[in-house]
Structure 1
């Protein structure tokens, strides 16, 4: 897997401004609109070079936060979708947590490129197709709502993906993007650390070295500008909590490297910081676009 090397500093995909060198050889940023990109390559379904991702541990650490946010997204979809909308596609459905939440209200289908993760989700009785979007879809298959939960930022050719969404959505269909926010508190803090030589938090937020790293970082304004050029109008945008009290201990534990008093000391410190974090931009945004 290629995870380092010089970034090919091409024009910004949002505004066309030439990108400048970022905080690492693989990182670049646009001074015009704030879009950031990474020359990191994924290796989904390839044999990992290091220790494989422990999916059980990952589920324990992330599930509580994701489920709470997914409930909010399903409520948004129900409120903003046109009357009669019922067919929902979850691109990159992973463990199927969003499918479980959304199927209470919609007819759902998931697509998952990771054969191991997708197989586990399928074995739980959820409707999942293995493969990539839109190749895994049947000819002429269309939807009322397409959702990307922490997925769109991993797709190298994001413009082709947006065009495919436009083609696969019915009239007035919704595109929902749930993704990291480059204006978020923790992301900006990681950039400050990287500038003084501590790059580990910055690399972790880009998921450098994992099978599917981030290759884009957006904020609401430049995301709306990009998606708008592909036949969509933004109808809603909001922040979602990047930390919740529920499941916090498990999330800290699954990060590894701590046990006993140190684990609980950090848990208490982070728990007490949650009210303070509400004063700053969240690291998670959800934007809803309608096909025009």
Structure 2
């Protein structure tokens, strides 16, 4: 790879690079148009920085999510008799905040997104990961390439989510692991939050509002076997108040304890752990 172009070792196709990151899409102009359309809804979407865990109002919740994923990866890799995955992909890596801790679970770490601004930030955060720009619906990887796919809070943005999950199933190796995170916004508790703030609903770039049941059907339909589903994170059904309250650890912990006991299906986040059959 040179700074301005990258050549595929398999097919010898040449792709442009942006900021040293290969742009592995067939039609870069269509991609640019889609991004511009997204910015009409949310002008800051393309350029706004994604704060690291420590700087987020939801930092205590984000830490719980990270610790959960770390436990899952450690457990599932040990179950497979591996210390680290041969190839781990952060699918929709954004600014690369997760790459810094995912690297200890991977011999080779990959990250992709379809936002070149975010990929430039990801490259600055982790020089060791292999980064590229790609479209999940036309993904530039051979069948069975990755042992682990971390697909975190991305699928709710993709109109054809079933096709995205089919693509994940295709690129997973037999016996490979998918860790899928998404908001639990189909739950009545968070639908209430949207009703209380119609301006937030009008400007969100989420196109799907899942519950565990609706997403489970899609994951299974993609041919993946679900190992577990985790509900995580509880707060008040008010988008503005939620961030103000949960920035305090004792309140985040209190909502977590009460939510798990009283409204266990109304968490703010869902995590699916799934695998691709060896058959």
Q: TM-score, normalised by structure 2?
A: 0.67
2:222 to 219, 222, 230: 230
2:88 corresponds in structure 1 to 88
Separation (CA, whole Å) in 2 of partners of 1:74 and 1:272 = 19
Q: Where do 1:233-272 residues align within 5 Å?
A: 233-242=225-234, 251-252=243-244
* Greater helix proportion: 2
Partner-residue secondary structure (3-state), 1:216? coil
> Structure 1's 44 and 224: CA in aligned 2 closer, same or farther, altered over 3 A?
same
1:209 corresponds in structure 2 to 203
Matched, 1:181 2:213: no
1:110 corresponds in structure 2 to 111
**Runs of 4+ in structure 1 displaced over 6 angstroms?**
266-269
Q: Where do 1:1-292 residues align within 5 Å?
A: 43-44=34-35, 48-49=39-40, 52-53=44-45, 55-56=48-49, 58-59=51-52, 60-61=55-56, 64=59, 65-81=61-77, 82-84=80-82, 85-106=85-106, 107-126=108-127, 127=129, 128-133=131-136, 135=138, 137-139=140-142, 142-182=145-185, 184=187, 186-190=189-193, 194=195, 198-200=196-198, 204=200, 208-209=202-203, 213-242=205-234, 251-252=243-244, 274=255, 275-278=257-260, 279-280=262-263, 281-292=266-277
> Structure 1's 222 and 144: CA in aligned 2 closer, same or farther, altered over 3 A?
same
Separation (CA, whole Å) in 1 of partners of 2:38 and 2:223 = 38
Separation (CA, whole Å) in 1 of partners of 2:96 and 2:124 = 11
Greater relative contact order (Cα < 8 A, sep 6+): 1
Separation (CA, whole Å) in 1 of partners of 2:68 and 2:145 = 24
Q: TM-score, normalised by structure 1?
A: 0.64
Separation (CA, whole Å) in 1 of partners of 2:115 and 2:93 = 10
Task: Using the TM superposition, give the Cα deviation of residue 103 of structure 1 relative to its aligned residue in structure 2, in angstroms.
Answer: 0.8
Gaps of 5+ in 1: 1-41, 244-248, 253-263
Q: Over aligned residues, Cα RMSD in angstroms?
A: 3.5
Partner-residue secondary structure (3-state), 1:86? strand
> Structure 1's 222 and 121: CA in aligned 2 closer, same or farther, altered over 3 A?
same
> Structure 1's 171 and 272: CA in aligned 2 closer, same or farther, altered over 3 A?
closer
Gaps of 5+ in 2: 1-32, 236-240
Q: State whether residues 173 and 290 of structure 1, in contact with CA within 8 Å, keep that contact through their aligned partners in structure 2.
A: yes
Report the more deviating stretch, 118-127 or 44-53. 44-53
Separation (CA, whole Å) in 2 of partners of 1:56 and 1:159 = 28
Report the more deviating stretch, 68-77 or 80-89. 80-89
